[in-house]
Amino acid sequence: MLAYIVRRVINAIITLLVVTAVTFGIFFAIPKATGSDPALLYIGKQSDPAAIEGIRQKMGFDDPIYVQYGKFLKGLVAGRDYANGPDVTHCPAPCFGYSFATDQEVTPLLLEDIPVTLSLALGAAVLWLVMGISFGVISALRRGTFIDRAAMTTALAGVSLPVYFTGLLSTAIFVYWLGWLPQGQYVPFLENPADWFVNLILPWVTLAFLFAATYARLTRANMLETLGEDYVRTARAKGLTERVVIGKHALRSGLTPIVTVFGLDLGALLGGAVLTETVFNLRGLGYQALQAIRQNDLPIILGVTLIAAFFIVFANLIVDLVYGWIDPRVRLA
């Protein structure tokens, strides 16, 4: 198992390196190649040439790409100093540089957004896992009955309705019409857990509805397949109770494919649930990314992209490890 873990971790690190290289290449090399001057973006077109030159020196825009990339990597890991002669600015690790638009350090900006995205994603994940898996299992066990058909029809609706539709609809109903829930606004958990919870209910449910639908269908299909497996028949032939047969033997393998999908979905969501955050006006990573794109704020876009990539790779690593733990054939291969 240890060798397996080490292999997966090394793999993840290599993947991250490749991702940073590619992303960096795209975001920094291309503007350069197309002749737009990043230094200009920092201080605007009307500035005097000396100031522009100063920025260029300080940010190292004249260095070859690989040198810039090296410095960028160092900034990520250990922090870096931007220096133009005596004018030194220290940017602590992980350093994503400075926003074009506001000159603010990118890292604290993003750090502020992460809890919002994290709350949204994790809360919704718990909800959709519980809903999706229970409905999936029940449907599989009661295949062809009314419950099965009702659950699967609802699931179909969940998969096909877009978030902005369900989101706006539920806001209209629960906030404006019934008045049961406040008009969404993020409240940090540590500030007031109850408010944090109440404000997130709608986004959670909306997001979870979308995913729970997929998970219910996936769980149902997997369970049906597993229930037909020879080893489930063996479990019954041993005289195990139906509870053990389903709960231990069938579920264990029926849910493994879910792990993979869950890892991918969660990783992607942690990078920012753009639509949901926008619909509910939550200022998370997705929202931040949208703003940055509008303003052409490359350092922030780069930061969000890398954080998203990090979450995805990390989630995948966890999936691989969980998989190895569940399935001895993977770990002992």
Partner 1 sequence: MSIGATNARPFLEIKDLNVRFETDDGIVQAVTGSTFSLEKGQTLGIVGESGSGKSVTSLAVLGLHRTRSNAKVSGEIWLDDEELVTASDEQVRKLRGGKMAMIFQDPLSAMHPYFTVGSQIVEAYRVHHPGVNKKVARERAIDMLARVGIPQPERRFNDYAHQFSGGMRQRAMIAMALVNDPALLIADEPTTALDVTVQAQILDLIRDLQEEFGSAVIMITHDLGVVAELADEVLVMYGGKVIEKGPAVDVFQQPQHPYTWGLLGSMPRLDREVRDRLNPVKGTPPSLINLPQGCAFNPRCPYAGRNGDRSFTETPELRGDIHKVACHLPAEERTKIFQQEVLPNL
Instruction: Tell me: does residue 90 bind partner 1 (CB under 8 A).
Output: no
Q: Does 257 bind partner 1 (CB under 8 A)?
A: no
Determine the interface stretch with partner 1 among 9-17, 150-158, 168-176, 235-243 (rule: CB under 8 A). 235-243
b/e burial code for range 256-287 (CB count within 10 A of at least 16 → b): bbbbeebbebbbebbbbbbbbbbbbebebbbb
User: Which residue among 23, 253, 260, 278 contacts partner 1 (CB under 8 A)?
Assistant: 253
260 binds partner 1, rule: CB under 8 A: no
Q: Out of 49, 85, 86, 144, which residue is the one contacting partner 1 (CB under 8 A)?
A: 144
Contact between 281 and 184 (Cβ < 8 Å): yes
In angstroms, rounded to a whole number, what is the distance separating the alpha carbons of residues 7 and 207? Answer: 34
Q: Work out whether 149 is an interface residue with partner 1 (CB under 8 A).
A: no
Ranges within 298-327 binding partner 1 (CB under 8 A): 326-327
Counts for the chain of helices (H) and strands (E), in that order: 17, 2
- Min dist. Cβ of residue 113 to partner 1 (A): 39
The site string for partner 1 over 211-230 (x = CB under 8 A, - otherwise) reads ------------------xx
* Interaction between residue 103 and partner 1 (CB under 8 A): no
- Could you say whether residue 243 binds partner 1 (CB under 8 A)? no
Q: Residue 11 CB, nearest distance to partner 1 (Å)?
A: 23
- Which of residues 159 and 322 has its CB atom nearest to partner 1 in the complex? 322
- In angstroms, give the least distance from the CB of 228 to partner 1: 10
Q: Which of 189, 293, 286, 271 is nearest to 19 (CA)?
A: 271
Of 112 and 229, which CB lies nearer to partner 1 in the complex structure?
Answer: 229
Q: Are 251 and 235 in contact (CB under 8 A)?
A: no
Q: Closest distance between partner 1 and the C-beta of residue 170, in Å?
A: 37
Q: DSSP for 96-150?
A: --B-TTT--BHHHHHHHHHHHHHHHHHHHHHHHHHHHHHHHHHHHHTTTSHHHHH
71 binds partner 1 (CB under 8 A): no
**Residue indicated by tokens 């033997």:** 249
Q: How far apart are CA 44 and CA 332, in angstroms?
A: 59
Distance CA 246, CA 223 (A): 9
- Which pair of structure tokens corresponds to residue 289? 């990314």
Query: Closest separation between CB of residue 324 and partner 1, Å?
Result: 12
What is the SS3 string spanning 3-71? HHHHHHHHHHHHHHHHHHHHHHHHHHHHHHHCCCCHHHHHHCCCCCHHHHHHHHHHHCCCCCHHHHHHH
Q: Is 180 in the site for partner 1 (CB under 8 A)?
A: no
CA distance 1 to 7: 10
The torsion angle over the Cα atoms of residues 266, 267, 270 and 276, rounded to 10 degrees, is -60
Stretch that binds partner 1, among 4-12, 171-179, 189-197, 247-255 (CB under 8 A): 247-255
CB distance 298 to 25 below 8 Å: no
Number of residues that bind partner 1 (CB under 8 A): 24
Query: CB 233 → partner 1: shortest distance, Å?
Result: 6
Choices 93-101, 152-160, 181-189, 239-247; region in contact with partner 1 by CB under 8 A: 239-247
Among 32, 71, 236, 283, binds partner 1 (CB under 8 A): 236
332 binds partner 1 (CB under 8 A): yes
**Residues in the site for partner 1, rule: CB under 8 A?**
143-144, 229-231, 233-242, 244, 249, 252-253, 326-329, 332
